[in-house]
Every structure is written in structure tokens, then in C-alpha cells.
């Protein structure tokens, strides 16, 4: 009998999700309650394939509460850039413990990257895009490697650049969920109050959007909630949610090396 021909091993490199999948999900869940949507997906087709990423910022409690109500075992990823406010780290521990998450995963920048590209720790002061890449974007890619999908806390009201934010989108071959995309600031506040969720301590001090301490400042009345991020730079995103904008030194700015 002729020996059966050996079939070569094939590695499937196709992305887990494509734009057509995101479009179908946006249509499928149009008008569906956020909690019901998360229940269906986290207990169904995305179970074991998804993580939630949280900055433990000003409004993080609402989304974390929604997810915890469905499945407390969903991996919860936090990127510690090593430039965070101490208040954020304490809030992370308090909130994750209170909501009962069982799989908090903390990722930090690669020390070799820091030694090669930010030895002084001052890259934020002259190249914020490069700093975000080292301290946020690269660690998140490592954190998301085991997953086909992830949950983001972005909201359309946060900035003009997010005005058309969909519930589902594709990011580097993964499905990204924005469950609060269509929530208003008022809805968030009401939800946090209703469920008596603890608030980030810096909110009361005038920080409606909280990131790394060197690049976060207070926001005045009537200003865009994210106007306190990277103030003085033509930059609105860290690079995790799309490409960071090109930065140029502000006029008269003397970078610290």
C-alpha cells in the first residue's frame, strides 16, 4: 500500500475578526441595552477570548461594574506606565477588590526599552508620542497577545475626535468593544451614583480625565474633559486607541533631557 502523503503543517495567521464582523455586531446590537449586550457576548461567543483593559480613571468604575456583574473572571488588564498617580494605583486596588475581579493582570514597560529609549525617565517632556509607545502601546500589545477581543472604556462625549465612536471596531486584527460609546456624561454619573461606586479621588480636584501624572493637568469649567491631557501639545491620543498624533515642540519650549 502506498504510504499516505504527509500534509504540511499550516499556521493560520488570519485575524480573528475583520471589519465585516464589527459591522455585523454593530447592526446586531443596535439599540440593545449595554448590560444585555455584555451578558450575551461574555457568556457566549467571546467567553474565554476577551479581556477588559482599564486605566482606572475618572469614569472606569461604571464599565468595570457592568462587566463584573456578568463575569468576574474576565481578565482585567492594567498598564502601569510607572508614571501613574499614586492615587490611581490605590484606586485600582480598591475598585478591583470591591468588584471582585479574580484575574487582575498588571503589565509594565520593558526595562530594556526604558534603558535604551528613556534612561532618564524624561522622554514625556520632549517626545510624548515616543513615551506613550514605550510605556503604554508596547506593554498593551504583550498583554493582549492571548486574546481575540478586548473591552475599552472610551465614550463619544469625551472628545470631538471620538464623536463617531462605534460600539464595535477592529484594532490590529482584534475585536474592540466600546460598550459605553453612546453613553452620556449624565448617564455615567447616574449609574455610578445608583450603584454607590467609589470615585477616583482626583476627580474632585479638577481632573475629569486622568492619565500619567506628568502629562495630566486640571481642566477648567466648560473645557473639553480631555483638554488636560498633553496640554501644550498637538496630541489627543496615547496610541492605544489609534495612532498618536505627530508632536512638535510648542513655541519656546526647552526640552529636558
Q: Which active-site residues does the annotation give?
A: 238
What is d(CA 122, CA 179) in angstroms, rounded to the nearest whole number?
35
- Residue 239: what are its φ and ψ, rounded to 5°? 110, -20
76-79 and 104-107 strand pairing:
parallel
- Which SS3 state, helix, strand or coil, does residue 57 take? coil
What is d(CA 221, CA 219) in angstroms, rounded to the nearest whole number?
7
**Beta carbons of 235 and 136 less than 8 angstroms apart:** no
- Can you spell out the DSSP letters for 79-102? E--S-B-HHHHHHHHHHHHHHT-S
Number of neighbours of residue 30 by Cβ within 10 angstroms: 9
What b/e sequence results for 75-98 when a residue is b if at least 16 CB atoms lie within 10 Å of its CB, and e otherwise? bbbbbebebbbebbeebbeebbee
What b/e sequence results for 60-69 when a residue is b if at least 16 CB atoms lie within 10 Å of its CB, and e otherwise? bbbbbbbbbe
Amino acid at each position: 500500500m502506498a504510504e499516505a502523503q504527509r500534509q504540511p503543517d499550516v499556521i493560520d495567521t488570519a485575524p480573528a475578526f475583520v471589519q465585516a464582523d464589527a459591522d455585523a455586531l454593530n447592526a446586531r446590537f443596535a439599540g440593545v441595552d449595554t448590560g444585555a449586550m455584555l451578558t450575551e457576548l461574555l457568556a457566549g461567543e467571546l467567553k474565554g477570548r476577551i479581556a477588559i483593559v482599564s486605566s482606572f480613571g475618572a469614569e472606569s468604575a461604571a464599565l468595570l461594574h457592568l462587566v463584573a456583574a456578568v463575569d468576574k473572571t474576565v481578565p482585567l488588564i492594567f498598564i502601569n506606565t510607572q508614571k501613574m498617580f499614586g492615587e490611581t494605583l490605590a484606586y485600582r486596588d480598591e475598585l478591583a477588590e470591591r468588584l471582585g475581579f479574580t484575574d487582575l493582570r498588571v503589565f509594565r514597560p520593558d526595562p530594556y526599552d526604558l534603558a535604551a529609549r528613556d534612561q532618564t525617565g524624561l522622554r514625556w517632556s520632549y517626545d510624548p508620542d515616543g513615551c506613550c509607545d514605550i510605556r503604554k502601546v508596547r506593554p498593551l500589545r504583550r498583554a493582549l497577545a492571548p486574546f481575540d477581543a478586548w473591552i475599552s472604556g472610551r465614550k463619544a462625549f469625551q472628545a470631538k475626535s471620538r464623536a463617531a465612536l462605534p460600539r464595535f471596531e477592529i484594532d490590529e486584527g482584534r475585536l474592540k468593544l466600546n460598550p459605553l460609546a453612546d453613553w452620556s456624561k449624565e448617564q455615567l454619573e447616574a449609574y455610578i451614583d445608583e450603584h454607590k461606586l467609589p470615585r477616583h479621588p482626583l476627580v474632585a480636584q479638577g481632573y475629569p480625565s486622568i492619565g500619567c501624572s506628568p502629562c495630566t493637568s486640571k481642566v477648567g469649567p466648560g473645557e473639553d474633559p480631555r483638554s488636560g491631557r498633553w496640554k501644550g501639545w498637538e496630541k489627543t491620543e496615547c496610541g492605544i486607541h489609534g495612532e498618536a498624533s505627530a508632536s512638535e515642540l510648542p513655541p519656546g519650549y526647552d526640552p529636558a533631557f
